[in-house]
Amino acid sequence: MSEAPQGNKGFHKRTLLLGAVLSAAVAYVTTYSDMVVKGMQLGVLQFAPGAVGSFLLVYGAVKVLRAFGKLRWMTSADLLVIYLMLFAAVFVSTRGFTEKLMPAPVYLNYYADPINQYAQRFIPYVKPALVAFDPKGELKQPVAVEFYESMRSGSIPWGKWIRPLAMWFLLYLLLAWSLFCIGVILRRQWADHERLTFPHTILPTRLLDESIARQFLRSPLTWMGFALAFIPFLINGIHLAVPTFPQIPLLFWNVQNLFTSPPWNQMFGTSIFVSFAAMGFAYFLPNDLLFSLWFFFVLTRLADVGAAAYGIELQNMPSYPTRHYIGYQVAGAYVVIAFVFVRSGWGYYKRVVQSALRWQPDPSTGEAMSGRWAVWGLLTGFVGILAWCVWAGVSIWLAVALWSIFLFVTCTVMARSVAEAGFLMTETSFKPSDIVGIFSAKSLWGNTSWTHIAFLDAIFFRDLRGMLLSLFLDSQQLAPRHGLRRAALPILFAVAIVVAFVSASASELWLHYTRGGVNLYGYPNANVSWAFTDATNALTGADKLTPPSPLWFSVGIAVTGLLYYLRNTFMGFPLHPLGYALCPSWTMYVIWFPVLVTWVVKSLIQRYGGYNLYLRALPFFLGMILGEFSCAALWALLASTTGLLAPDFPWP
């Protein structure tokens, strides 16, 4: 970092301060939007609408001030610093961590009753430092009751929350550090050797590169796409304030209810969301991946119909919006995909590890850190995570198994889905405990381990939206393009993460204790509820599913292996293994229709207009991303400052 950037040297120090202030502000706005407005989740996408919209406001302000001779010192590197800090702030403050964390330290004390027996199964085994209530005290203590029902008098009990929030944040920092080290190791293989496109870097590159930005922002197609996406959500927002104003329906829930007779009425939940931003991102994906995503999604619904036609009982995957037989296939697919990643880059990974173990000079230059330090940093972070879990009460072998699957299978495959497929959400269809449970009886893991595994499931494992690894990878691609040293990335991310967590956690506590958690957005609390319901079923042996999970896990392994074989054997084979692995996720539940529409449009463009027309249409699709996310940021700002109602956006 330097006071006066020179070429690729760094950014101005004042930018870090500005980024910290903006991170705190956007953490509050996104928290308020998620929890109070509810219909506009600004942190669920890996290309987060809250971050993009906030950056566009900053970008526009900078452009205006520059026109009047102000802010001449701000370079592309400075703007990139703000861009990355806003993304980190949104991820940390919403679905990535804080939003899921806040109900956990008081959930058991408030919801324990004679039916669920939480007071017998979990509360005696809770580590006191991880909760805001006294595990040895009575149920429904004031700190929990007022969190959910609001305060009648008095002040927010800040003191009871400091220790549990600090302990959980420590684990999050260890995870973030481990993911950053993984990102450093993966970047060279995925970017330099496999030449992945990292679709989420396309739009910021077009805005931050002055020559490209000028051409992009002056293109009529950009503003046509912007208007197409911006105007419907503007109209829908006005409709909420003035009910006589017309509305444009964009969300169609539960279209499977149109089928009323068996076996078609046994189809799993299917909805249609019209997201112009999703269409914009989908335009940059390879056609085979586009086709595979919607094809396998539709196939999962047809599989339900076929199973029902033969009288097969359809059971749901615990905690996920898919069937059991699909969820375990996905788990098997993830394992194979992770194995293929390692195998395809084995020579590179082997050299990196050997360099670290033998303390050899690392030829890496211009990286965020050397490969050697990344390996040792990852090892240190992983050991720190294990030590934290053992301290909490999780069995060491369970901690190793769960976190190994999470870091090296789930997170890695999800990051690949973003880097290669531009995937907008990173929610899976299984938890690490689902895979471990194939090889070990869950009922034997013990109450102490299950108590804290339930916390880990709710806060980290079940929902990966807002995952930092994809941001860390994208940032390493963007930095050298815009004059920012990769070595500066840990500094700016550390500042943004700490500031955003403080701002978001304070905002969450203020909202809960003044409005009452039962009146706020219900997903975070439901997420904790699902985790402890699963833990209860595991301890009591009530989680037995038929047919057995190992069968479908093996099917997933076999199908994914076959898809890789066919792609390597037959040129142009249209089915992509990532499409199979991602098809039943909540992400595809939300974007399958935009993906289908984009596949049709893009295929027609390339068939009749060729590559030249494809390139000419790029500004239009990028404009749709800008339009939808700009409107989301506008309504979030208005809702958090004026109390206006905001329209629902198609990424719940």
User: Residues 538-586: pLDDT tens digits?
Assistant: 999 877 766 688 999 999 999 999 999 999 999 889 999 999 999 999 8
Element (H, E) at 272: strand 272-273
Distance (Å, rounded) from C-alpha 155 to C-alpha 158? Answer: 8
Model pLDDT for residues 31-68, shown as the tens digit of each residue: 999 999 887 888 889 999 989 989 998 999 998 988 88
Model pLDDT for residues 90-101, shown as the tens digit of each residue: 999 999 999 999
Distance (Å, rounded) from C-alpha 468 to C-alpha 447? Answer: 31
E-strand stretches of 40-160: none
SS3 for 396?
helix
User: What 8-state DSSP symbol labels residue 370?
Assistant: -
| 263 preceded by a cis bond (ω within 30 of 0) | yes
- Say whether pLDDT at 4 is over 60: no
Check if the beta carbon of residue 40 is closer than 8 Å to that of residue 31: no
Task: Please report how many Cα atoms fall inside a 13 Å half-sphere around the Cα of residue 600, on the Cβ side.
Answer: 7
Please tell me the pTM assigned to this model: 0.93
Place of tokens 């914009």: 280
- Say whether pLDDT at 269 is over 90: no
Q: What is the model's pLDDT at position 9?
A: 53
Q: Which of 591, 646, 526, 632 is nearest to 99 (CA)?
A: 526
> Which residues on adjacent β-strands are paired with residue 251?
273
CA R_g for the chain: 24
Distance (Å, rounded) from C-alpha 328 to C-alpha 556? Answer: 7
- Say whether pLDDT at 5 is over 60: no
Q: Which of 468, 421, 429 is nearest to 589 (CA)?
A: 429
> What is the mean predicted confidence (pLDDT) over 322-333?
94
Here the tokens at position 534 are: 């699963």
> What is the mean predicted confidence (pLDDT) over 146-159?
94
- Say whether pLDDT at 520 is over 80: yes
The answer to which of 17-26, 513-522, 533-542 has the lowest mean pLDDT is: 533-542
Q: What is the model's pLDDT at position 7?
A: 45
Q: How many CB atoms within 10 Å of residue 391? A: 13
Task: Give the residue ranges of DSSP H helices in 406-522.
Answer: 412-421, 432-439, 447-456, 468-478, 489-515
Q: What is the model's pLDDT at position 547?
A: 67
- Per-residue b or e along 589-617, where b marks 16 or more CB atoms closer than 10 Å to that residue's CB: bbbbbbbbbbbeebeebeeeeeeeeeeeb
CA distances from 304 to 262, 322, 325, 579 (A): 11, 10, 10, 18
Here the tokens at position 18 are: 């500005």
Q: What is the model's pLDDT at position 2?
A: 41
Q: What is the model's pLDDT at position 536?
A: 95
Task: Give the confidence band of 618 by pLDDT, cuts at 50, 70, 90.
Answer: very high
Q: What is the model's pLDDT at position 41?
A: 84
| 262 preceded by a cis bond (ω within 30 of 0) | no
Model pLDDT for residues 583-607, shown as the tens digit of each residue: 999 889 989 999 999 999 999 999 9
Q: What is the model's pLDDT at position 645?
A: 85
> What is the mean predicted confidence (pLDDT) over 623-646?
87
Q: What percent of the chain has pLDDT over 70?
A: 97
Q: Which of 335, 538, 580, 508 is nearest to 443 (CA)?
A: 538
Q: What is the model's pLDDT at position 546?
A: 63
> What is the mean predicted confidence (pLDDT) over 253-258?
83
Q: What is the model's pLDDT at position 171?
A: 98
Q: What is the model's pLDDT at position 403?
A: 98
> What is the mean predicted confidence (pLDDT) over 221-248?
93
> What is the mean predicted confidence (pLDDT) over 145-166?
95
- Say whether pLDDT at 13 is over 80: yes
> Which residues on adjacent β-strands are paired with residue 600?
none
> What is the mean predicted confidence (pLDDT) over 360-383?
86
Residue 111's Cα: distance from chain center in Å?
Answer: 28
Task: Give the confidence band of 448 by pLDDT, cuts at 50, 70, 90.
Answer: very high
- Say whether pLDDT at 293 is over 90: yes
CA distances from 329 to 251, 343, 436, 550, 573 (A): 29, 21, 14, 9, 21
Place of tokens 């957005």: 521
Residue 322's Cα: distance from chain center in Å?
Answer: 18
Contacts of residue 513, defined as CB under 8 A and 6 or more positions apart, other chains included, come to 146, 147, 150, 151, 156, 157
Q: What is the model's pLDDT at position 579?
A: 93
Model pLDDT for residues 484-505, shown as the tens digit of each residue: 999 999 999 999 999 999 999 9
Check if the beta carbon of residue 296 is closer than 8 Å to that of residue 579: yes
Here the tokens at position 63 are: 């452009």
- Averaged confidence pLDDT in the chain: 92
Q: Which of 427, 421, 412, 460 is nearest to 183 (CA)?
A: 412
Here the tokens at position 168 are: 């959980």
